[in-house]
Structure 1
């Protein structure tokens, strides 16, 4: 009864797996991620902020224009006593005052401080774009890791299903043989145990496969339960060389490029702080208008004035108590730290590339060895099957050959994707991940 329940459950799950599903190709996965992945979209927004900051309008190179205006109204009661004792009083005298002005200020020279501040803003934009690239590369690498895990489990499901079918056939044959008195109940029980174990392994693979598909959907920024199948074919880059990868890493690795940008910013800081010792020269001009309606108590009934003013200004921070000197010293030390960081980064990347190359070479060797091992086990299982059909071997010997073949398939499948993931790790270090073959 238990065996029948397992068979029904497997049939139901297998039926669901066979439903029409979209084939999610590797290029499709990358396209979806670039459009919908949350980390990539957030990085794009940060780059847009940096782009706004690097605009000429945020540099101090443009003049400033300010306008102002006012209107004031008053009602005045006054009482004046003359020397003769006569009292003159006036009530409710209305006065109105209007004014407006427009001013323009422009800094001609400030020791080139704004020039280097603007360069820092542009470098910050470059760093923001490099940060976006780093995020994209990490997301793409994660997507491929999960994609290839889905592909590996897909192939494992096929392999485990083949093993399960063989165990089912063996169980049926053992029952028929027992019914006709050709073997014992023990053979039937062994075959049933093996079938149940294979069923459990098959169900576990399906569950793990479904979980990994949800993980991939999450990276793609879509409904985690979206059904799909993947392309299990693999291509390898046969032209990789350690020397070329090291050269590309030192020139195109995103961390190297970011460190170069940080070094340039440290140089700009020195120049900005040095500019604090130089004078600032500016021009200014303004145009103003005033209209006063003074009322009956004034000599004049109204006044109307316009004025155009212009001039130049110079300011020079000759001594600020040593603050500028301290900033200059600290900026030189920061530049030295950036040099040290670059040297350390190059050593770390050199180590990482050599380690990744060793992993890659080992993975390729294991792949070839597992391919040979699989071929040997396939031949061995074929001969064992022939002997089993002739009754020349025991069920335990057949089972061992069956397990050997399954393990060989699983190990070869694992080796295929280990080699590909090792290749992708090298491509990321060299800055060529987005140009690789998938």
Structure 2
């Protein structure tokens, strides 16, 4: 086995390239932005839980949970009794025979009792407590929908943060593959020139080192890409090892449309809408608490049946008695003083409303700040993106000229490598700036309440 370090170094490079070829031959289906959103809405675990919470709130606001419907109850029962009795007359004389009257014994005398009833109760008036509680449940449903919307917005933003990271890494892989191809050509050229005495062994070794470094960078970037795809599959609730390609085309929203979104941000921001909903719930809480000051009027009615089956006794024959009862009435209950409980609940409800009003002022300021910061970040990143576009053009021209001069032997391999590194850096920075600007735009759209109303 050869102990030449250069030989071992070449084996490592060849093995790395082999891995790259194997991984690059796998074709994967393209995952569009629209398909990614659809899969997320259908399968994401957090969104599924939020959807179930909406169903619970929907059930709670149903008429069946409002207290407006009457209650109807039924009761039924049966009793059975068996007894043996002995009645003695203690020396009494039977007038017919003149003999002492004998004892009367009754064995296994059965007594049966049956009953059934149907009762109806309905609250005609409860101080408007159920009316405002019903409105409160409807508003709670609206709040739950807003909370679900917030969950969906956060999930969609998380989705595209990962999606565009995959896009960035995918484009970086292409850049590094092209870089590796150029470096390999440089190794071939250096070997050719060395064989004909036009170059030194040092130039060959430098070229091989650059190939190794480019191979390592490519391998690391590909591994990052694989890991990030797994992250996206978690969001999609899909198979972790499922392969796919993503769309790397970016479209920014026109400034005129974005300005319109900014003007309507206060009406559409989900955090502000939730706060408004909480204020309405607190207002209903006050009215529900005040219902304790008023009386309760109820309507009740019942229909019952009883049957008694009595056995014969020493003095009476057996009998069967059936009773049917129909009753109805109106009741009024007025808790003139409940120990101060109602007064305390009303006071606390008013304090809760005051807290919600204070929170509204705070949240409004915070949202205005967040929108201003997000808009500033977005404009800044767009500017950086445009600068990086020009920077790539400049570095591409510099690299093309350096490559021609290198082939003519007018610059050293170190100078050529520096031009190559500068181009790689410019291209990867451009990719980062492009997707950073798009993520900043999505964050701004979320704050303006428009994230779910756009085409991705």
TM class by shorter-chain length? over 0.9
Deviates most, 352-361 or 71-80: 71-80
Unaligned runs of 5+ in 2: 1-6, 93-100
Is 1:79 paired with 2:86?
yes
Per-residue CA deviation, residues 203-238 of structure 1 (Å, 9 max, x unaligned), is 000000000001001100110100100111110002
Q: Verify the 8 A CA contact 2:13 2:211 in the aligned structure 1.
A: no
Per-residue CA deviation, residues 126-149 of structure 1 (Å, 9 max, x unaligned), is 111111111111111101000000
Corresponding residue SS for 2:122? strand
Match of 2:328 in 1: 310
Distance 1:239 1:295 in 2: 97
Is 1:64 paired with 2:71?
yes
Distance 2:263 2:291 in 1: 38
Is 1:31 paired with 2:38?
yes
Match of 1:193 in 2: 209
Unaligned runs of 5+ in 1: none
Show structure 1 runs of 4+ deviating over 4 A. Answer: 83-86, 240-243
Match of 2:53 in 1: 46
Match of 1:112 in 2: 128
Distance 1:231 1:331 in 2: 52
Q: How far 1:241 sits from its partner (Å)?
A: 6.9
Q: Verify the 8 A CA contact 1:78 1:89 in the aligned structure 2.
A: yes
Q: How far 1:194 sits from its partner (Å)?
A: 1.1
Q: Verify the 8 A CA contact 1:236 1:437 in the aligned structure 2.
A: no
Corresponding residue SS for 2:331? strand
Distance 1:378 1:96 in 2: 105
Which runs of structure 2 are paired with 1:26-425 in the superposition (5 Å)?
26-82=33-89, 85=92, 87-239=103-255, 244-297=260-313, 298=316, 301-425=319-443
Distance 1:18 1:232, change over 3 A: farther
Q: Verify the 8 A CA contact 1:242 1:357 in the aligned structure 2.
A: no
Per-residue CA deviation, residues 170-208 of structure 1 (Å, 9 max, x unaligned), is 111111111111111111111111111111100000000
Distance 2:414 2:391 in 1: 21
Q: TM-score, normalised by structure 1?
A: 0.97
Distance 1:90 1:293 in 2: 16
Q: How far 1:47 sits from its partner (Å)?
A: 1.1
Distance 2:257 2:370 in 1: 15
Distance 2:365 2:105 in 1: 93
Per-residue CA deviation, residues 56-93 of structure 1 (Å, 9 max, x unaligned), is 00110000000110111100222334475554332211
Deviates most, 116-125 or 287-296: 116-125
Distance 1:119 1:10 in 2: 68
Per-residue CA deviation, residues 300-349 of structure 1 (Å, 9 max, x unaligned), is 51100101100011100100111110111111111000000111000000
Q: How far 1:377 sits from its partner (Å)?
A: 0.6
Corresponding residue SS for 1:234? coil
Q: Verify the 8 A CA contact 1:295 1:301 in the aligned structure 2.
A: yes
Per-residue CA deviation, residues 133-167 of structure 1 (Å, 9 max, x unaligned), is 11111111101000000000000000011111111
Q: Verify the 8 A CA contact 1:102 1:288 in the aligned structure 2.
A: yes
Distance 1:377 1:346 in 2: 46
Count matched residues.
438
Distance 1:16 1:44 in 2: 39
Is 1:430 paired with 2:437?
no
Per-residue CA deviation, residues 256-286 of structure 1 (Å, 9 max, x unaligned), is 1111111111000100010011000010111
Corresponding residue SS for 2:250? coil
Match of 1:17 in 2: 24
Per-residue CA deviation, residues 365-390 of structure 1 (Å, 9 max, x unaligned), is 10110001100111111111111111
Deviates most, 261-270 or 72-81: 72-81
Corresponding residue SS for 1:236? coil
Q: Verify the 8 A CA contact 1:37 1:219 in the aligned structure 2.
A: yes
Distance 2:56 2:414 in 1: 68
Corresponding residue SS for 2:123? strand
Coordinate RMSD, CA, aligned: 1.5
Per-residue CA deviation, residues 354-406 of structure 1 (Å, 9 max, x unaligned), is 11111001101101100011001111111111111111111111011111111
Corresponding residue SS for 2:328? strand
Distance 1:322 1:9 in 2: 80
Match of 2:14 in 1: 7
